[in-house]
Structure 1
Amino acid sequence: MRSAVAVLGLVALTALPMLAQEAIVLPNGVVVNDPALAQGLEAIPSTDEIAAEVEAENAAARPQVDAATLADMQANLREVSADLQALRAQLLASGAQGFVAAGGDSAIDRMNAMEAQIAAVTEKTEQLSNRIKQVVAEGTNRIGDIEFRLCELDANCDLGALMTADLGGQGAVAPAPGGGPVPPPPSDVSAETLPPMAEPETVATPPTEEEAREFAEIRGLVAAQDWAPAKAKLDHLVTAHAGGPLTAEALYLQGIARQGDGQLNQAAQSYLLAFSAAPDGPRAPASLLALSQAMTGLGAPGDACPYLDELTRRFPASPEAAEAAPLAETAACAELAAADEGGAN
């Protein structure tokens, strides 16, 4: 039998080749002397490989959605509403023959029904947009809180340099270099020559918070006769909230701002659109009267006659109808109507 010393000697001789093997250095700098352990550790994928695999799986599982965003949907609704208002304006400008060709009073009723549906869809998209903004804000706050906590755990992290981007956003867009447009010279139009700017009537469907805020700001600019920013904000309001409860009011203010800035032709278009947006609304008589006065100011008093006739026919008890009578007399509307009837006969 072998002695215990001999057995220990054999074990030592057997272990010598293993101890004589070179140590293995892993990619992370850790030195491992055990080949089996090193081989097992090398088989574990790196964090970059794991992240790439997870990203690939997420991309494969991500649903294919339509490229059209909510903003695109709102823009399309605004375009449809603007086209409908333009069609209504053309119908009103065509006079009695246009009404007959379009199907009589039912044409206006159909347009009103379509505008009501567009307004309902627009309101739903705005509600959805507000909900998305709320979700983005809450998600951004939570991500920012996580980033702050992770930064506290890292000795090299600068808490002051943390800038959490909005969830799903692409970052802020830098403003374009250079100054803005040169403001026009002050207008010589006085408040007496402009249509009155009455308080807006209470509407059945309340406006959104954003629409009401923008409208209140615009009223202040128009009251101060600050025409350039008022026109810019009105252009945005009537486009971004087309078909809303304040559309007719905004178009009427747009006419005042354009007229105050010396753009009488564009002002007449705004007054016509204001009436067509709500032909039975509280601002309709004032829009028709302002439109008639604008046509007279453009040197075409005869063109004001159809709108003066519409005003006295639709709103005979309104204060604007009383003002329409002397305008119709000055424009010789009765003589023009008689001449048209004689030509038709």
Structure 2
Amino acid sequence: MNTSSGILAERYSTIGPHALTRILGNMPAGIISRIWGLRGPCMTVNTACASGLHCIGEGFRMIQNNEADLVVTGACESPLNAWIIAAFCRLRALCTQFNDTPEKASRPFDSLRKGFVLSEGAAAVVLQAWPPPDSFLVESFIETPKPIAEVIGFGRSGDAHHLVAPDTTGNGALRSMLNAFKDSKLEHFSQIGHINCHATSTPIGDLTELSAIAQIFGEYFTPQYHTPVVINSIKGHLGHCLAAAGAIETVYSALSVNQNRICGNLNLHNPISIYELMEVLKSNSSSSTSISFNEKCIDLFKNYAVLPRHDEIQVAWPDSHRRIVMTNSFGFGGTNGTLLISEWTD
């Protein structure tokens, strides 16, 4: 008899000695720490679908604050069971269309998007102070490999709006992206050539995220640089891996700047229209100044945002001096996170 059955039957003597440690959220971090002898900060981040990205961001902060020289970060999720599927169905979050062609169900930014496709996965990222401190080199006795990419900014925010729905003004997503941008010390937003979105293929979420990006364009984009920004979501390829999504998409972002490749948007045939974006921005406007600003947002977004379509399997990075990607993760509870990742330059 397993633990759950024992509790339901009130046969508590059947509960095993490891029942408690099996349910504690910090046990994976504790086990990894013990196996590898990692004696620095040891913790677990639980922020729903933003967990993976927040975990990597916290590791970045530890290195910035001289709390650690090397941090193992990552996330995993295995939600493909009846309970989880039923729970998301009750929230009407999952796509119930395309049952005969399930490969078409996850379609971020597309006009036919009806909800996300549940998936599972895991990813880990090793962050290291660079150049490595002398003490680290002495203790490791190994040659340190060249970095794949560089984390240059981390931002967070809270919607303070709804437990499971995003703030439709896009303000929470906007502040998360701006916090990462300011943390990076970049001179202008036009230095960012690619935005890897959280977009999960939901009607409200995808539109809200694009409206937040449009608002950033209006406030911070510098058009004289004439550099397009490629916008995508890899959830059309992978589905939504929940807590693991941010870690997996950070790996994608690092490899993107490293290998000079950007994934297209699978199943994107008819993107969210400029009219839809304008309606979202107008709903948040209360003055003629705001209306003028909204028109500026839409004009810049229309001219400089590029959303690769379904048949564009991969696209090249825009011409720029340095490849920099922004990646977003948002979670239930109104929690938001953004990382800025740059190609590694010696």
Greater strand content: 2
Greater helix content: 1
For this structure pair, what is the TM-score category when the shorter chain's length is used for normalisation?
A: under 0.3
Instruction: Name the larger-Rg structure.
Output: 1
Q: TM-score, normalised by structure 2?
A: 0.23
Q: TM-score, normalised by structure 1?
A: 0.23
Larger RCO, structure (CA 8 Å, separation 6 or more): 2
